[in-house]
Amino acid sequence: MDKPLNVNRLRTHFSLIKLIAWTCIFLGLILFFSLHYPHSSPSNRLKYLEDSDWKYQILNSGRPKSRNGFRVLVTGAAGFVGMHVSTALRQRGDGVVGLDNFNGYYEKSLKRAREDLLKSKGVFIVEGDINDGVLLTKLFKLVKFTHVMHLAAQAGVRYAMKNPGSYVHSNIGGFVSLLEVCKLMNPQPAIVWASSSSVYGLNKKVPFSEIDRTDNPSSLYAATKKAGEAIAHTYNHIHGLSITGLRFFTVYGPWGRPDMAYFFFTRDILKGKQISVFEGLNGFTVSRDFTYIDDIVKGCLGALDTATKSTGSGGVKKGPAQLRVYNLGNTSPVPVRKLVNILEKLLKVKANKVVSPMPANGDVLFTHANISLARRELGYKPTTDLQSGLKKFVAWYLDYYKPSGKKSSV
């Protein structure tokens, strides 16, 4: 009986060593890259902090419509998922304050259009960086946030080949900056944040389950999300923060990101440009577990609604706190070739496509989510198939990018 016990102790010991190693490596990278990426300028920050109209808009936006409503800080609110989650929260009566730096990773006009839409719903977005601790602290002093929905991140697998520092700055440094502020609050907020299906990396076991190994990332983006999960564990263990990570699987839909395949395929098909459909060795089909945005939003709200309170106060842990991670996918992987076929039918345009080998840029050949845990604990149940979801996306795209050049706000 002693041998299994010793083996378990060794496994635990090495797991702790691995966790500490991951955390130390990426905290070191945070320190290095922080010297190369400036924070919000002091003049802009002071202008915000002293502006009474700015304060009023934040207070009004963060005020719940119902007595038991949440007060939620949504980072990355002008992003694809952030806009949809913020809208859903506000529509059900929660107070919502957004935070976004409106970076130039893709067209800013789309982010500003999302901001306008949220403004019409009564959601105010503060323009600022999650690495700005002074700004974050001010926001928490103005609004006693009960929850944080952390969706701000440097997205995209391929872009890391060009600008690796942005991933460390946003996905690791920004997450730590946010947690540092949250840990000092009294009471501390419960935190739900966006991890990624990319953490499964080179895992060949399918469908991907939350208990599978995630120590073989195939891209820097995946590595920063893996580091985020390790950092979440650390702040939960030391400071008593209630933290839930959500591993999103290829989210798509209206108001989506232009760097995603379904989006730029649509654009290029309409323009008659050639599109590349990648395949693996021996003709292996590239497939994705495409998940419609409305289903993802339901999962995000389910995570917020089931999150228990943090147990710390002023950075000091008072007792065990909730730490969770869930897959949010559709459970039905679809070959990218089929995605193109559906778009051709919806657009009534034949794609000029060429089949090419998948480049060594960090992308993986397939993703497939096991969502049994999220279904059981969050009540998560995706209902939109790819055909139906793409039909809604194409309708939005054709309306938003009208030939007249005028952008729709619906």
- Number of neighbouring beta carbons within 10 Å of residue 10: 10
331-361 as b/e, with b when 16 or more CB fall inside 10 Å? bebbebbebbebbeebbeeebebeeeebeee
CB 160 within 8 A of CB 220: yes
For residues 120 and 296, give the distance between their C-alpha atoms in angstroms, rounded to a whole number. 22
| Torsions phi, psi for 281 (to 5 deg) | -60, 145
Q: What is the spatial distance between Cα 54 and Cα 40, in angstroms, rounded to a whole number?
A: 17
| 206/210 Cα distance (integer angstroms) | 11
Residue 292 annotated in active site:
no
Catalytic residue among 221, 235, 262, 397: 221
> d(Cα 218, Cα 365) in Å, to the nearest integer?
11
Give CA–CA dist 125/305, Å, rounded.
23
3-state class (DSSP) for residue 96 = strand
HSE, CB side, 13 Å, CA atoms: give it for residue 56.
3
Distance of CA 66 to the CA centre of its chain: 27
Which residues make Cβ contacts (< 8 Å) with residue 314, sequence separation at least 6? 184, 186
Burial class (CB in 10 A: 0-12, 13-18, 19+), 14: exposed
Peptide bond into 217 cis (omega under 30): no
Neighbours of 288 (CB within 10 A): 25
Positions marked catalytic: 221
